[in-house]
């Protein structure tokens, strides 16, 4: 990811963000691994939507928000199948 020093949190605007990636432990649970660390990770809740194994993610140290790229077709399929009618209507999925 280019210009990481210019990144801001999309949630709160903080510049205290860490770039890394989403990885998966042996048990299948996703974890966040920061690019600039020697070891260690942060376990994430099981997302329900698969996160690409090569997904780049940004975590905010001030509000805890995480931004990651998801497969947009998979997200649309899941929401179309499991989303409330009001949500599907709002998103044009029905």
**Which one is predicted more confidently, 18 or 53?**
18
In 3D space, the residue among 54, 51, 83 whose CA is nearest the CA of residue 70 turns out to be: 51
Scanning 1-94, the segments in alpha helix (DSSP H) are 72-82, 85-91
Which range is most confident: 31-40, 42-51, 55-64, 70-79? Answer: 55-64
Domain count, the chain: 1
Which range is most confident: 3-12, 38-47, 58-67? Answer: 58-67
Average pLDDT over residues 6-21: 89
pLDDT band at 1 (very low <50, low <70, confident <90, very high): very low
pLDDT band at 41 (very low <50, low <70, confident <90, very high): low
In 3D space, the residue among 25, 55, 56 whose CA is nearest the CA of residue 42 turns out to be: 25
Give the Cα separation of 9 and 90 in Å (integer): 26
Domain that holds residue 55: 4-91
In 3D space, the residue among 4, 29, 3, 39 whose CA is nearest the CA of residue 19 turns out to be: 4
Cβ-based neighbour number of residue 24 at 10 Å: 12
Reduce the DSSP state of residue 24 to 3 states and report it.
strand
Does the pLDDT of residue 31 top 80, yes or no? no
- What pTM does this model have? 0.61
């Amino acid at each position: 990811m280019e210009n990481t020093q210019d990144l801001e949190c999309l949630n709160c605007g903080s510049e205290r963000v860490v770039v890394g990636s989403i990885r998966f432990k042996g048990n299948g649970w996703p974890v966040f691994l920061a690019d600039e660390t020697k070891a260690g990770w942060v376990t994430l809740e099981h997302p329900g939507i698969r996160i690409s194994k090569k997904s780049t993610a940004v975590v905010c140290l001030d509000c805890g928000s995480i931004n990651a790229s998801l497969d947009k077709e998979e997200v649309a399929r899941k929401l179309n199948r499991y989303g409330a009618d009001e949500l599907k209507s709002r998103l044009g999925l029905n």
